[in-house]
Chain A
Amino acid sequence: MIYNDEYETMPREALEAIQLRRLRQTVERVYNTVPFYRKRFDEAHVKPEDIKSLDDLKRLPFTTKQDMRDNYPFGLFAVPMGQIVRIHASSGTTGKPTVVGYTRRDIKVWSELMARALAAAGVTQNDIIHNAYGYGLFTGGLGVHYGAETLGASVIPVSGGNTKRQITIMRDFRPTVLTCTPSYSLHLAEVAQEMGVDFKKDLAIRVGIFGAEPWSEAMRQEIEKKLGIDAVDIYGLSEIMGPGVAIECIEAKNGLHIFEDHFIPEIIDPETGEVLPYGETGELVLTTITKEGIPLIRYRTRDISTLYKEPCRCGRTLVRMARVRGRTDDMLIVRGVNVFPSQIESILMQYEEVAPHYVIIVDRKKALDTLEVQVEITQQLFSDEVRKLQELEGKIEKDIKETLGISCKVKLVEPKSIERSVGKAKRVIDKRQL
């Protein structure tokens, strides 16, 4: 279903005219209200009036996560605090948290975009949404919550954690939609099984909207098979807004439609900063063109994706981004080869003998990088013959070598020995002292 027919199916020329108008307004505003941007634009010798076409966007300097940290907490806000109605922040696991503020209008836009996203995933006002994204400083919980209310669906604000209670609620309240991280959905399935609850027969979930961490197509199939649902990918980041920046339509499940009447996407070469054409893979850069609280110009998301502008069969004219393959900072360089955890995940998913829980450990021994993949074996396919288990390790190692071009060590570990997370799964441990 299309929530906002006018904007989601607008002819490209009309959409681009709106984008240009909104971009120019945003650039003008940040230049006059945020000292950081005035300084950056002056250093780059670019004035707001130089932006005459969408193509001129590339003349503007990038904004990075580091810039947000340097201006911690409110330095990039473009309105006085009196106009801010909500503050969110990133977890800050990799440094100072990044803080974002929303005006009343920002919240309204976010709610509408999230409602559009839910509708694209096939959700209607008759659905009950089990929202297991964390509520709090993280944007996931409240983002989905407001979108659900705007759409008119019923929302259960269950938040993260207490997994057994979540299963009980799903069994008793009979929600039809599940929203959480993809790895948590598999954990839910595991716990349901332990509790003797059949996810397919005893629960009413028919669609899951999963995001906040990179996942692979193979993992989608795994989730769809295990949970007996449609799994849809959603994209967003707190710096830009939160969930609802882009969503897959349930019709195609092939690329995420970016709500371009509010954001302008670009793909750049992460090394050189050069803008890449449609169809090429690189770092996703987003510019907000309607945000009031904290507008961001050419924000480097560090997410690796590709943009496609071929029309989609759902009828939306919006550009699609490929599911995020990983992050530029998740990208491991092992013996000079670029490795994304998602590539390893895709390989592991092809084996029934192992569970989709894994951790990648990179170390350096005598100046040589070593890559170890620990993966849980499954109870059902456990063999008591050493030879068979070693053959399995060998087969996976060979597959990884063939795909990535580097050798690695696969180590089978006991079920449930890899730490489960209710939020974003930690897949990589880099022990190298670089």
Chain B
Amino acid sequence: MKVIQISVFLENRAGRLAEVTKALAEADINIRALSLADTSDFGILRLIVNNTEKAFEVLKDNGFTVGKTEVIAVEVPDRPGGLAAIMDILAKEDINVEYMYAFVQQSGANAVILFRINELDKAVDVLTKNGVSVLPGEKVYQL
């Protein structure tokens, strides 16, 4: 039930992000979701793409520092309180969220949110038991 996210270390330098997107474009890779965390020194770009392996290789070959991280994609009802209910489930189980970001695309009537959690297995378990839908990787890459 896990989704592989690609992360790229970026120096704070004009044009660096453009080089990433250009490399992906040339390799015909589609970005499904992304988030950029930044500090005064550097940024970390996190991406969900339609072809993880290929994107990883392409970026590495272009000299980027690339990592792979497991995240989970959770379907969140698109209405007030939708996310709150999910956060509540995690909080009750004392599960800490490192970071999260949203998909642009919806899955049916639901929003899709990506969570990075250290205790991934436990989170999947708890969420499913509470009737929350956790999307498998194959589905997420093709959303």
Contact = CB atoms under 8 A, between A and B. Distances in A.
Interface of A: 377, 379, 382-387, 389-390, 393, 411-417
Interface string B38-67: 010110101000000000000010011111
A401 B66 CA distance: 31
A416 B63 contact: yes
Contacts, number: 49
| Size class of the contact patch on chain B | 20 to 34
Contact of B69 (A384, A389, A393, A416): A384
B98 interface: yes
Please classify the interface of chain A as helix (H, G, I), strand (E, B), loop, or mixed, using the class held by over half of its residues: mixed
B42 A382 contact: no
Given A384-B69, A412-B42, A414-B64, A377 B9 contact: yes
Contact of B11 (A387, A393, A414): A414
28 contacts: A377-B65, A382-B7, A382-B65, A382-B67, A383-B67, A384-B7, A384-B67, A384-B69, A385-B98, A385-B99, A386-B37, A386-B44, A389-B9, A389-B39, A389-B42, A389-B44, A390-B39, A393-B41, A411-B41, A411-B42, A412-B41, A412-B42, A413-B11, A414-B9, A414-B10, A414-B11, A414-B64, A416-B63
Nearest to A384: B7
Given A382-B65, A385-B116, A417-B11, 4 more contacts: A379-B65, A389-B42, A414-B65, A415-B63
A390 B66 CA distance: 17
A120 B135 CA distance: 66
Given A414-B9, A414-B65, A417-B11, A384 B41 contact: no
A404 B98 CA distance: 35
Given A384-B7, A385-B98, A415 B65 contact: yes
A26 B109 CA distance: 94
Contacts of B60: 379
Contacts of A415: 63, 65
Nearest to B64: A414
Contacts of B11: 413-414, 417
B18 to A, nearest CB: 15
